[in-house]
Amino acid sequence: MTTQSAPASSALPLDMIIFGGTGDLSFRKLLPALYMAHLHCNLPPDTRILTIGRKPWSREEYISEFMETKAKPFIEKKAFNAAVWDKFLALFEYVRMDVDSPEDYARLAEVSRPNVCRVFYLATSPDLFTNICNNLASAGLIDENSRVVLEKPLGHDLASAQEINTAVGKHFDEAQIYRIDHYLGKETVQNLMVLRFGNPIFGPLWQAPYIKSVQITVAETVGVGSRAGFYDKTGALRDMVQNHLLQLLCIVAMEPPVSLDPDAVRDEKLKVLRSLRPMTPEDIARDTVRGQYTAGTVEGEAVKGYLEEDNVPTGSRAETFVALRAHINNWRWAHVPFFLRTGKRMQKKVSEIVIEFSELPFSIFPNNGRNYGNRLVIQLQPEESIQLQVLAKEPGSGMHMLPVNLNLDLQQAFTERRAEAYERLLIDVIRGRLTHFMRRDELEAAWAWAEPILEGWAKSGEKPRGYTAGTFGPAASNALMARENAVWAEESQ
Ligand code: BG6
């Protein structure tokens, strides 16, 4: 699949139109990110922000009830400037609409200006995407300068994702569609490309048999919070693995792209997704672990179990934890297991990629029976750092070796402000840069691999395993590693 180059509409005035303009994502992420873009002069001079919601608010009520009360607290204190905030608020219009009612789009058409670049940000449930796009088209609001941003998860399985893609594709060319995965907007994730493809030292070693295994962990301490309505239907595999973790896996595993052009990068990620070994029912039973947190203590605070959280249906089987072993069937990665793990209410918040290099074929040093290999730990969150574990001689008379870290603290190396992922990606949308967004075939390939796992779990009739909040998940997740002679990074420190 190729994408025609994005239309050159960035010079036009901008109408940023946010569906779901009164929702969680808007006040937590999108509006604070737009404020930051405005503060740093990254919005086109003649920008307006049209937020859409069902609440019967006037513009003034939207500003006071929503912007001031809900969105403002999510702006970093040190970045807040009252005069800039007032100017930012002046960009806003609130449009009260029922997005399923075609008549209401006339109201939007009245407010939106002609000859502008319209960016439609669909921060709603994906079930609404098709209707919204059809209605926008009927109201004559889509033209060659328009763009649409689709929030994840796009669909709940392959068929629904295809259906949405087809429906959206009737009105927008692929080059106008921005499927967002905010992990691709993280500075650290973008830096992974530089680490891999900008440093010749890693190139020759970045493959089997020099790499023995790869671990990708995205652990969160938060629970489901107020999102049970969404989360319980979704679960960790759809919420995190199908998108964020697979995207990280792609960046670790992809071949060097021929350039940084959107299609060059996305072609390589697609090849990785298509090379993922499909999981059979036996693989699913052996190589995947689902968990659900029970009451415990996280960061010193007693917390409820998932089943006791507000709005979680009795006896819910939604997984809040997943660990699995994946394989990539290609020359570079033959027989190298990729261990993926994510969970809520875990012991600590950490997102990291651990590249475990193979051991020496033979060691001339006494090693007390331990066989160390080198290990590269790329921490994405909460701190951005890269550590290379190497062996050094322990001071003393013998030749004993111990692992020590070559430590690169990127916070110290660069003191510049790091834009938050949504800010960076919104600016990409405004400037028509597609590299860090998913293409249709990529997204569908990710679903094609993930869906059998969901089906396998449903067929097995088993419940997710309980794990105490504040731990690193069910014991079965360690057993999964042990079978491969591996341990999760925190177990080997
Ligand atoms: C979102 C998920 O996509 O990513 C959330 O829907 C999750 O459940 C969040 O908490 C994690 O993002 P981050 O940037 O905090 O790691």
Domain with CATH 3.30.360.10 in the chain: 184-420+440-492
Rounded average pLDDT over 186-213: 94
If we measure between CA atoms, which residue out of 368, 409, 412 comes closest to residue 387? 409
| Residue 415 banded pLDDT, cuts 50, 70, 90 | confident
Which pTM was predicted? 0.95
CB 169 within 8 A of CB 428: no
- The overall average pLDDT reported for the chain is 94
Residue 10 pLDDT > 70: no
What homologous superfamily does CATH list for 14-179? Answer: NAD(P)-binding Rossmann-like Domain (3.40.50.720)
CA 387 to chain centre: 23
Higher pLDDT: 223 or 5? It is: 223
Shortest-distance atom of ligand 1 to CA 222: 10
| Residue 370 banded pLDDT, cuts 50, 70, 90 | low
| Residue 53 banded pLDDT, cuts 50, 70, 90 | very high
Domain with CATH 3.40.50.720 in the chain: 14-179
Is beta strand 117-122 parallel, antiparallel or unpaired with respect to 47-53? unpaired
Rounded average pLDDT over 243-269: 97
Least confident of 164-168, 170-174, 209-213, 483-487: 483-487
Burial of residue 204 (number of CB atoms within 10 Å: 0-12, 13-18, 19+): exposed
Rounded average pLDDT over 412-416: 87
Give the pLDDT score at 360: 85
d(CA 462, CA 464): 7
Give the pLDDT score at 384: 87
Axis-axis angle for helices 31-39, 82-89 (nearest 10): 110
Give the pLDDT score at 371: 67
Q: Is 220 in the pocket of ligand 1 (CB under 6 A)?
A: yes
Best residue among 220, 320, 380 to mutate for probing ligand 1's pocket (most ligand atoms within 8 Å of CB) is 220
Q: Can you name the CATH fold of 184-420+440-492?
A: Dihydrodipicolinate Reductase; domain 2 (3.30.360)
Give the pLDDT score at 418: 87
Rounded average pLDDT over 282-310: 97
Among protein residues, the one whose CA lies closest to atom 5 of ligand 1? 239
Distances (CA, A) of 267 to 249, 254, 428: 15, 9, 19
Give the pLDDT score at 367: 67
Spacing, Cα 409 to ligand 1 middle (Å): 24
Spacing, Cα 182 to ligand 1 middle (Å): 8
Spacing, Cα 141 to ligand 1 middle (Å): 32
